[in-house]
Structure 1
């Protein structure tokens, strides 16, 4: 009779649950990710649209400070997800933005929770958000995806992955450059993100070229 070493297991390894954006581009559920760049809110809507395409119809929490002027464009959102799914929270204190995100992730009641913040969170805050997302996924509850939106090139420490999105529109064509800047298990990579009027996003592998951010993003 063979004896299994106490530090080993014969159980097959299970892949962590993840959201697929396109082939070779995934976001682990139950973790915190970062979206940055001038079109970071378009990236958040790409994530929301992919969740909806996968059958998720739960609420999407969108948390931003009360003094922030930029808001989502209702008509643009309606073409991607049901706007009735959005729950907006606008705390008056900066520290309450991440506190609200933490509580939503811990509850395990939403597939996606987004915090649009004006700066970078500290490493301790990021670790707390990871723990909250993991807690929300325990006991058979919904595995939430946490997403912080940060300005410029981002740079939050400890996030599971960082994605930068910049507008590269050409005439009437809506195009963006999507760059996976870092991820725990995947190398940096580029995609071109496109969207036709009345349709969702499509992603195709991109080439390494300098950023072109001359055109504004309609969602940022």
Structure 2
């Protein structure tokens, strides 16, 4: 049985999903799960938080990490990006509760950003559940949440919407980073030089000679 062409084709314009723009072509889709890796992955998370704040996304920002993890965010360092009072810290005692907490926070739709600082890579099933939770939060909550997992080394979580590698590239005069979009569902690998300007936030410029690796 033939299918009428009008049931297959539409002239409605394609609309890109809502996303958080970091500038210069770098963007993270909302209501999805992304991955940050590299030595400056926590700085990348703070840049994302600062950009959300600049767009007027108010409310608490969740930072979830296992109780045994020795590294902690330093309030004085956080203050360069956002007000530390906005952060809600959760430190589960069991490994499985870290991703469970992230899933529940994303599903609630009550936050602009939820970060899980992980000691290893999550499984594909867990990533899929986190995508569904973020999508559900965007549909039923007051905000479209952005989920971000921070993973050690080069990262490599399967199924994430995008993976970003951030490494320090400071100068004597200013803070700076090398940011790479290693992989993304809808965008090719790309690199930027990212600097921090007081009163302006993160400024991205296309990097030369910084090839991203898959």
The runs of 5 or more residues in structure 1 that have no matched partner are 212-220
Which residue is equivalent to 2:148? 147
Which residue is equivalent to 2:93? 92
Q: Any conservation in 2 of the 1:79–1:198 contact (CA below 8 Å)?
A: no
CA drift at 1:143: 0.9
Alpha-carbon RMSD across the aligned residues, in angstroms, is: 2.0
After superposition, where does 1:40-189 map in structure 2 within 5 Å? 40-139=41-140, 141-189=142-190
Q: Any conservation in 1 of the 2:102–2:114 contact (CA below 8 Å)?
A: yes
- Mark the CA change 1:11 to 1:140 in structure 2 (over 3 Å): closer, same or farther: farther
CA drift at 1:9: 4.0
- Mapped to 2, the partners of 1:15 and 1:209 lie a distance apart of 27
CA drift at 1:198: 7.5
For residues 26-51 of structure 1, the C-alpha deviation after alignment (integer angstroms, 9 at most, x for no partner) is 10001000000000000000100000
CA drift at 1:171: 2.7
The runs of 5 or more residues in structure 2 that have no matched partner are none
> If the length of structure 2 is used for normalisation, what is the TM-score?
0.91
CA drift at 1:8: 3.9
- Mark the CA change 1:103 to 1:196 in structure 2 (over 3 Å): closer, same or farther: same
- Mark the CA change 1:12 to 1:177 in structure 2 (over 3 Å): closer, same or farther: same
- Mapped to 2, the partners of 1:125 and 1:205 lie a distance apart of 33
Report the count of equivalent residues: 209
CA drift at 1:89: 0.3
CA drift at 1:91: 0.3
> If the length of structure 1 is used for normalisation, what is the TM-score?
0.88
CA drift at 1:7: 3.6
CA drift at 1:210: 8.1
